[in-house]
Amino acid sequence: MTIALLTHADCLSHVTPDGHPERVARLEHILHALEALDLKRVTAPLAADDDLLRIHPENYIRGIRSARPSNGFAQVDGDTFLSPGSVDAAYRAAGAAVRAVDLVLSGEASNAFCAVRPPGHHAETETAMGFCLFGNAALAAKHALDHHGLNRVAVVDFDVHHGNGTQDLLWDEARALVITSQQMPLWPGSGRPEETGVHDTVVNIPLAPGSGGAEMRAAYETKAFPRLRAFRPELIIISAGFDAHQDDPLANLNWATDDFAWITAELCRIADEVCSGRTVSTLEGGYDLNALAEATRAHVEELIKAAR
């Protein structure tokens, strides 16, 4: 079976100021870690504005484009910056999510991983924030629902920070189940259990600072996996953030690399049960370069194992 790896050199052209954690080296380390794996390399296309309009209004998309600087940096949020190459990178990241869905739902790939930046799960309907410009995972879900005609899609987000953008973009979407675990308290401050969406299709799983893989596994086994199985999605989309790793500098969870392998394997097992293994994963956070590369490789290796 074919595992697709979607990426583009434009994603390396999104440059951030010196010392910024969301830096070019993140993707460089990931691509180096994955280069020996048996993957179908796919060029991430630029997203079409018609695709982006599924989740963001035209004035927001136009505002991101117009904010692109000709040199240096433009700051669009307290910690979100644009360089001259950032808009093309964001269009590639969103385009990768769309193309990955097409590949998996057509059967050209059994599952797919989008090695892209900037990440997307903090981008709200009309707000860029948390290093994110467009809601890549939410876009993948809406593309699967509206373009491919699926009835049920699930998004599972295990980034250490709450996926407030994905939650906002899919808050009133009855066809999408959003499951997100996050350290709490931690920026951006959302993600409480009582945040359940208009149709009770949002599941927030707060994890205490200092907790590790055992607590995460118990939480997913009791709160996430039963909801996922009951919903029976026709596609599972993963927001794959690796900043819950014990070595990550931006948070205080203590997951080991094996924990990322475990959660990926479990999600793939459920995908096998409910949707013929169809899984699309897209990169979110992870800011210790070595931990990021190691955990990402473990994640992709589990996607490969699931397709055998």
Which residues are annotated as catalytic?
122
Taking the C-alpha atoms of residue 145 and residue 234, their distance in angstroms, rounded to an integer, is 10
**Which has the closest alpha carbon to 148: 81, 214, 51?**
51
- Specify which residues 239 forms β-bridges with: 157, 282
Residues with Cβ within 8 Å of 264's Cβ and at least 6 positions away in sequence, in order, are 238, 240, 281, 298, 299, 302, 303
Spatial separation of the C-alpha atoms in residues 184 and 81, rounded to whole Å: 25
Contact 205, 124 (CB under 8 A): no
- Exposure on the CB side of residue 158, measured as CA atoms within 13 A: 28
Q: Which of 252, 253, 240 is nearest to 6 (CA)?
A: 240
| Pairing between β-strand 202-207 and β-strand 236-240 as defined by DSSP bridges | unpaired
Are 113 and 5 within 8 A, CB to CB?
A: yes
Residue 239 and residue 179 in contact, taking contact as beta carbons nearer than 8 Å: no
